[in-house]
Amino acid sequence: MTVGSLLALQLVGVVFVALALVGAAVIGLARLARRDFHPDDDLRRVVHTLTTLLAWFLLTVTFLPLKGSEAFVKAGRLTTIQLNMIGLATVLVSGFVLGWVIAWLAVGVRRFLSHRLTPPGIRTLAGGLGVACLALALIGPGARTSAPTARAAPPAARVAIIGVDGCDWDMLGPLVESGRLPTFERLMDEGTYGPLLSFSPLVSPRIWTTIATGRDPSEHGIEDFVNDDGVPVNASMRRVPTVWEIVSSSGGTVNVIGWYVTWPVDDVRGVMVSDRMHTLVRGPLQALHSLSGRPTDDRLEEFGRFTFDPAYERYEKSDAAYQRNRIVDEPLRWGYLRDTIYGKAAETAIPQYRPDFVAVYYRGVDFVQHFFWQYSMPDAFENVDAQAVRTYGDVIPNYYEYQDALLARLLDALGPDMSVIIVSDHGFTARLDGDPSKPQLTGMHDARGVYIASGPAFRRGGLVEGPTILDIAPTALAVMGLPVSGEMDGRVLDEIIHPEHLRANPVTTVPTYGADVRGEQQEVESTMDESIRDQLRSLGYIE
Ligand SMILES: [Zn+2]
C-alpha cells in the first residue's frame, strides 16, 4: 500500500463524514426553524450516522485493502472470496451496531449531565473538554515522533545488508569492467569484494534466512520453499532471531524492506515491510493506473529498457513480434515490479527514519537469469538461435543496469555514513539438463554468490576470498559494536573490517540472544498460500 493510495482511501472516508455532517446540520437547522427540535432523538440520530460512517470507513481501511491476502488468516476451507464477503458483512454490521451503542451512550451522558449540572456548568465542562482535545491534537503528533525510547549507546557503525538474489560474478564482473554498472564499481573500488560461498540445497528462502540469522537451516527452521505440509514457508516458522531483532532488542532502530520470508513481520523498533507487500500493492494500484493512463505509460517507458515494446499487446497474437515481446514481458514484469515497489518503499522509509540497521532485498536479477541465461551465455549451450541471442542477449545486462540504478538510489537514501554489505544467496550457471516442458528455464543456481563490503567501517582492499553466507550476520553485529551470539555458526569477517574500526570496537560475544529477543512462535497460514504455490510451480521450484 503506497502512501498515495492510502491517502486516496482516507479521502473517501473524509468526504463521507463531511457530507454526513452537512446533512445533519441541514436537518437540525430545518427542525430548529420549525421549532420541533427534540434534543435526545436528534442527537442520537446525528451521532449514530456519524459514528456508523466513521466506523465503516475505519474498518474498511483496516481490512479491505488487504483483500484476498493477509488480513484474514486462512480459516478452515473457506475461499478468499467467501472470507472477503464475511469481512464485508462484518464491517457493515459492526459499524452499524457500534454507531447505535455510541449514540445511546451519548444521549445517556447528555441526560445525566443536564440533570446534574446547570447550563453554565455544562458550558464550563464542554469548554474544558474542547481545550483538552485541542491540546491533545497539538501535542499528540509531536509526542509520537520525539518520544524518547530506552536505548543503549549508539551503534559503533550504521550497517545495511543489501540482498541481490542470484547476483553472479560471471555476469556482474564483465559488466562492471565495461563500465555499465558505476555504482557496483564504486563500492568495489572503495571496499572489498569476492565470492560468497553458499550451501546446497540452493533454495532461496533457507539461504536468505541463514544470511539474516547466521544460523544453519537445521536450526533456523526454514529449509525449503514449502514446509513438510506443503505450506509456503513464512516467518512464523523461523525459530531463531534475525540480526534486525537483535539490533532492535539492543536499543537500535531498523528498517527491513522486502526481505525473503518476513511475513508476518517481526516486532521491531523501526519499519518492516514484509516480502508479501507487493502482492497487495499490485492489484489496486494497477487498476488505478489503467484508469488514469499516465503512470502505466511512465512505468512501461522504463520497462522498455529491457528490449521490449510496451505496446506489443496490440499486435496480432500470431505475429512474431507479439511472441518475441511476450517472452520478455511475462517473466520480467513480476521481478521488475517487485523491485520497483520495494525500492520505492526503501527510498521513502530510510531517509525519514535514519535507522541504525537496514536490510533490503531485490529479487529481479535471479528471475531474469532463470529465463534468459542462454541468450547471455550462448556458448555454454548447444545451438542457441543467433537471432534470439541478438534479440534477448541484453535483457540480463539491462536488468543489472536497472539494479545498479536501484542501488544508487538506495545508497543516496542510506547516506554516506552507512557501511553496506551487498550479498547474493547464490550465483548462476547454465542448466543443461533442462525440463523439456519448461525450455525457457535455462539458468540455474550455483554455490558461488557475490559479496561486496564498502563504507566507513570496512577496509579498502580488493578481492577477499573465503566468506560464506553464515558469516554475514555475525560480521554485521560486530561492525555495529554489538556482541556476536555464540550460537551463530559463522565467524566475524575481521579481514574485511577497517583495522581502526576493529581496534575501537573489539569483537565481543554472548552465549545466546535467546527467548528475550524472539519468543515461542505460533505458526500461521495465509490465504495467499495457493497463489504462492502456483508461482513456485511455474518457476519449477516445487512439483
Ligand atoms: Zn532463483
**Range 67-88 average pLDDT:** 54
Report the amino acid identity of residue 39: P
User: What is the model's pTM?
Assistant: 0.72
Kindly state the cell numbers that stand for 491: 565467524
Kindly state the cell numbers that stand for 405: 540504478
Q: Ligand 1 centroid to 223 CA: how many Å?
A: 15
* Phi, psi dihedral angles at 148 (to 5 degrees): -75, 130
Q: Ligand 1 centroid to 445 CA: how many Å?
A: 6
Q: Ligand 1 centroid to 168 CA: how many Å?
A: 11
Across 133-137, 167-171, 443-447, 531-535, least confident range: 133-137
For the chain, domain boundaries: 3-116, 158-538
Q: Ligand 1 centroid to 207 CA: how many Å?
A: 11
Q: Ligand 1 centroid to 95 CA: how many Å?
A: 46
Across 36-50, 194-208, 340-354, least confident range: 36-50
Q: Ligand 1 centroid to 280 CA: how many Å?
A: 22
Asked whether 202 and 446 are in contact (CB, 8 A), the reply is yes
Q: Ligand 1 centroid to 332 CA: how many Å?
A: 13
In this predicted model, what pLDDT tens digit does every residue of 91-147 receive, in sequence order?
788 888 988 999 899 888 888 887 877 777 777 877 888 888 777 666 544 433 333
CB contact set of 219 (below 8 Å; sequence gap of 6+): 213, 239, 240, 487, 489
Across 17-26, 318-327, 417-426, 531-540, least confident range: 17-26
Q: Ligand 1 centroid to 366 CA: how many Å?
A: 5
Strand partners, 187: none
Across 361-370, 482-491, 534-543, least confident range: 534-543
Q: Ligand 1 centroid to 208 CA: how many Å?
A: 12
Fold of 158-538: Alkaline Phosphatase, subunit A (3.40.720)
At 123 the pLDDT is 75
Residues bordering ligand 1, an ion, CB closer than 5 Å: 366
